[in-house]
Amino acid sequence: MAASSRAQVLRLYRALLRESQRFSGYNYRTYAIRRIRDAFRENKNVADSAKIEELLKKAKANLEVIQRQDVSFFHIPL
């Protein structure tokens, strides 16, 4: 993988994990972290640059999903 690509992947990976820590829901938080790690691990040997491009796009989209979540709704009293 090209050096810039590799740096990009690592940056995204770290950003995804960091954003996932913001989930105050235990189940969401643990799922996000676990799923991100497993997905990156699963794809670590992908060589085809078009595939890498596609995966990076997906990762970026997922990062934006997490960033948009207002990570806790547990404050609402009943």
Partner 1 sequence: SGRASDGSGAPRPLYMDVQATTPLDPRVLDSMLPYLTAYYGNPHSRTHAYGWESEAAMENARRQVADLIGADSREIIFTSGATESNNMAIKGVARFYKSRKKHIITTQTEHKCVLDSCRSLETEGFRVTYLPVKKNGLIDLKELEAAFQPDTSLVSVMTVNNEIGVKQPIHDIGEICRARKVFFHTDAAQAIGKIPMDVNNMKIDLMSISGHKIYGPKGVGALYVRRRPRVRLEPLQSGGGQERGLRSGTVPTPLAVGLGAACEVAQQEMEYDHKRILQLAERLVTKIMNEVPDVVMNGDREHRYPGCINLSFAYVEGESLLMALKDVALSSGSACTSASLEPSYVLRAIGTDEDLAHSSIRFGIGRFTTEEEVDYTVQKCIQHVKRLREMSPLWEMVQDGIDLKSIKWTQH
18 binds partner 1 (CB under 8 A): no
Indicate the residue type of 75. Answer: H
Question: Helical H runs in the chain?
Answer: 3-20, 26-42, 49-68
Nearest-approach distance from CB 69 to partner 1, in angstroms: 6
Nearest-approach distance from CB 11 to partner 1, in angstroms: 22
Rounded to whole angstroms, how far apart are CA atoms 11 and 28?
22
Q: Which of 30, 51, 53, 54 binds partner 1 (CB under 8 A)?
A: 30
47 binds partner 1 (CB under 8 A): no
